[in-house]
Amino acid sequence: MNALTDINLIVRTGDFLAIAGSSGSGKTTLLNLLGILDRPTSGCVLIDGVDVSQLSSRELAAIRSQKIGFVFQTFNLLPVLTAFENVEYPLLLQHMTTEQRKTKVEDALQRVGIEKLGKHRPDQLSGGQRQRVAVARAIVKHPSVILADEPTANLDKKTATAVLELMHQLNREDGVTFLFSSHDPMILSLANRVVKLSDGRQVAEKAAKERHAH
């Protein structure tokens, strides 16, 4: 049995796109394929027009690090590092001075509204603040797309909405492309496009309501 069948999805620059579907419908599998954490048994994944199945693991690692930002349900911050250091981490392998890194990290922390919390470790932060650190870590390299697998599943309703609103603000104001999954109707209502999965099949795409219509 295939985890996914008949998926035909184009993510465009500037999208704020949700993958909807109940537990077991294939959301994580799809995001793992798009994040090249996993390979399809058939079919292909193109990123900026390049078929990633043709690339070496070294080339894949480079694409993953340059073009894709990840946000996880469980935040996945490094517990011994401060918020600042967690956001700085993806930049450490780049040719950059300490001062250049500092500017980028401070910009990212400021964009997600936690510029004052840079010295805090994850265990000194709330769930919502941790996810803001994770979003800052994802945007700091200005990737082509940010993949977020159920980014609000471990947050209470109010915090979940605030994190989604932050992502939407980054999408509108900075043009950050987001692809996120959720099974929460309230979270899905914030998306500009919703692709629905059921038993590994793409059952429908509905353009979510025009939220900023006059």
Ligand X SMILES: Nc1ncnc2c1ncn2[C@@H]1O[C@H](COP(=O)(O)OP(=O)(O)O)[C@@H](O)[C@H]1O
Given the rule CB under 6 A, which residues bind ligand X? 3, 21, 23-29
What is the secondary structure of 169-191 as a DSSP string?
HHHHHH---EEEEE--HHHHTT-
Count of C-beta atoms within a 10 Å radius of residue 94: 12
Considering beta carbons, is residue 23 or 56 the nearer one to ligand X?
23
Q: Which is nearer to Mg ion, 88 or 150 (CB)?
A: 150
Q: Out of 25, 28, 86, 202, point to the residue binding Mg ion (CB under 5 A).
A: 28
For residues 196 and 205, is the Cβ–Cβ distance under 8 A? yes
Binding residues among 55-74 for Mg ion as defined by CB under 5 A: none
Closer residue to Mg ion, CB minimum distance, 31 or 145: 31
Closest-CA residue to 129 (of 146, 116, 147): 116
Q: Report in angstroms how near the CB of residue 34 gets to ligand X at its nearest.
A: 12
Q: Look at residues 180, 190, 94 and name the one whose alpha carbon lies nearest to residue 135.
A: 180
Contacting range for Mg ion; rule: CB under 5 A; set: 24-32, 106-114, 121-129, 190-198: 24-32
Dmax (CA) for the chain in angstroms is 52
Which residue's CB is nearer to Mg ion, number 81 or number 153?
Answer: 153
User: Which of the ranges 9-17, 25-33, 103-111, 151-159 carries the binding residues for Mg ion, by CB under 5 A?
Assistant: 25-33
